[in-house]
Amino acid sequence: MLRLTGDMEFTTGLHPSPSPDGAPALAICLTPPTLSRRPTAPSFPISPTHSAAHHASPPIPPSPPLGFRAISFPSATAHPGLPPPDPPISASLGRADTHPEQAKAVLSHHLGEGLSDFDEIPADEGVWGHLVGAWNGLWAGEGERGRVVIIEGGVQAQDVLPTKLPESPSFYLESSGSNNLLAPYVYRAEHLLAHILDSLPEVLKGFKDTFEMVGTKAAAALGHELSCLTALAESIPWVDKLRHSTKWDAITISGLRQVPHGSEEWEMGRKGVQAGLEAVNDHPQLPPLLVIILPSSHKTLSARSNPDLPARAASAPISAMTAPMCYTSNSTCSSSTTCSGRGVCALLRTNANGECWGCQCASGFGGVECQKADYTVPFVILIFSTVMLVILVVGSIALLTTVGETKLPSTLTLAVGPTKRD
């Protein structure tokens, strides 16, 4: 599990562990794709800044039943009645320096996207072996897409996580890199929310209808989000037509911060989120799950306004789901993404909604954030050259087979005839 705070640190223990600086933390929960083939590797990574001598002590506890995940809290006294947190493993190993590019590679691999030659990974083999190598190929060929659930404040981790998901931190990441790290997931979630409602079967619209009875736009938007979460959790077949080329689907839950905390609709929404996560976790094939819980003080990542979501859903074209990520200005683009260091922010197009800025990739790279190697041009050149070579060879052979078969003119035939003898 990845924990985003003002500092980074590997921690261990089965109880919630406070952020080292007491700042609100963004929690990202990971679950492995299957229980039947779980890795036997240690459940907590080792700091990449330490030598192998540090790996022998202290002993690392065994993995919890559902793999490694982490939850963070503002302070140790924020939740009275909980057992005191276990001491962090980083106290003996030192601090672990993991930056957003490394975390991005971990999350991409966890969701089944694999790694490219340009992804940056931790230098320590023990860390990377646990975070990535131990799960290599577990979901390959399973046919189940990963799920990404982003909860934008309004709840604490223990309010929504099912009891089957233990809370144990793995490492910290500086919060300054969180927007760039989460941008692809938020972007996909926005478009899925915008188009999924019209395709929802009637049986799944119960949340929406129930919350609309409350009479507030915030409650109606929360009901819409919970209906979408149910659709993803239950693997409804019609979701296929809304899917992107990525190997995961994303959904955002921001309505919980819009309704009064502790109210009837908040409690119903909290239980709905918990039930949705439990449904994903109880799936027979247990697909990769990424749960992102933002603190209430965190700036909202989504560009949309929840109360206006149903109105925007009708006007947004489905083709936008396959469009590049759009930012409203060059400064917003530059502050939100680095284009993986293989491109620059540029104006992609201008429409009625304003300017669309995004990554303009260098030659040989592609993707929303230039994260993929683009082999289109070399492939086209190779295919074209191969076809032309085949045509040239076949034509040459056909020309050679016709040589000598053409009959000579009669004059030439007489000239080369046998000489007459007396």
pLDDT tens by residue, 262-287: 888 788 888 888 888 887 777 666 66
Looking at the DSSP assignment, which residues form a beta bridge with residue 349?
Answer: 356
> Of 94-108, 282-296, 362-376, 379-393, which gets the smallest average pLDDT?
94-108
In terms of domains, do 195 and 221 share one? Answer: yes
In a domain, 287, yes or no: yes
The predicted-structure confidence for 144-159, as pLDDT tens digits, reads as follows 677 788 887 777 777 8
The structure's pTM equals 0.51
Indicate if 246 and 135 belong to the same structural domain.
yes
Tell which wins on pLDDT, 391 or 82. Answer: 391
Confidence class for position 128, pLDDT limits 50, 70, 90 = low
Report the candidate in 162, 138, 129, 108 with the shortest Cα–Cα distance to residue 287.
138
Host H or E run for residue 412: helix 410-415
Flag whether 204 is in a domain. Answer: yes
User: Quick one: 304 and 349 in the same domain?
Assistant: no
Q: Are residues 343 and 296 in the same domain?
A: no
Place of tokens 């993803």: 232
> Is 188 within the bounds of a domain?
yes
Q: Are residues 21 and 170 in the same domain?
A: yes
> What tokens were used for 221?
């938007």
Which of 302, 323, 344 delimits the end of a domain? 323
Question: 359 and 259, same structural domain?
Answer: no
Q: Is 201 domain-assigned? A: yes
CA distance 5 to 24: 7
385 phi and psi angles, rounded to 5 deg: -65, -40
Most confident range (mean pLDDT) of 125-139, 231-245, 366-380 is 366-380
Does any domain span residue 421?
no
Q: Three-state DSSP class for 224?
A: helix
CA distance 409 to 323: 68
- 199 CB burial (10 A radius; 0-12, 13-18, 19+): middle
Residue type, 114: G
50 plus 83 within the same structural domain: yes
Task: Work out how many domains the chain is built from and give that number.
Answer: 2
Answer whether residue 267 is part of any domain.
yes
Domain assignment present for residue 412? The answer is no
Co-location of 266 and 350 in the same domain: no
Lowest model confidence (mean pLDDT) among 113-122, 206-215, 273-282, 398-407: 206-215
Give pLDDT, residue 95.
38
Q: Are residues 243 and 206 in the same domain?
A: yes
- Are residues 304 and 346 part of one domain? no
Q: Is residue 405 part of a domain?
A: no
pLDDT, tens digit, for every residue of 55-107? 333 333 333 322 223 333 222 222 333 333 333 333 333 334 456 677 777 77
In Å, what is the CA distance from 44 to each residue of 55, 94, 111, 247, 306?
11, 14, 19, 26, 37
Average pLDDT, the chain: 61
Domain final position from 323, 343, 377:
323
Tokens matching residue 377: 């041009």
Distance of alpha carbon 7 from alpha carbon 326, whole angstroms: 30
- The answer for residues whose C-beta is within 8 angstroms of residue 308's C-beta and 6 or more apart is 217
Lowest mean pLDDT among 99-108, 194-203, 311-320: 311-320
Q: Which of 24-33, 268-277, 314-323, 409-418 has the lowest mean pLDDT?
A: 314-323
Q: Show Cβ contacts of residue 128 under 8 Å, excluding neighbours closer than 6 positions.
A: 121, 122
**Domain of 181, in residue numbers:** 2-323
Q: Is 360 helix (H, G, I), strand (E, B) or coil?
A: strand
For position 243, what pLDDT does the model report?
53
Looking at the structure, do residues 191 and 338 belong to the same domain, yes or no? no
Q: Say how far apart CA 339 and CA 341 lie, in whole Å.
A: 5
Single out the residue in 323, 351, 383 at which a domain terminates.
Answer: 323
Q: Return the pLDDT at 275.
A: 82
Whole-number pLDDT of residue 122: 61
- Interval 327-363: pLDDT, tens: 888 887 887 778 888 889 998 888 777 788 888 888 8
- Whether 366 and 294 map to the same domain: the answer is no
Q: What is the pLDDT of residue 409?
A: 66
Per-residue pLDDT at 47 exceeds 50: no
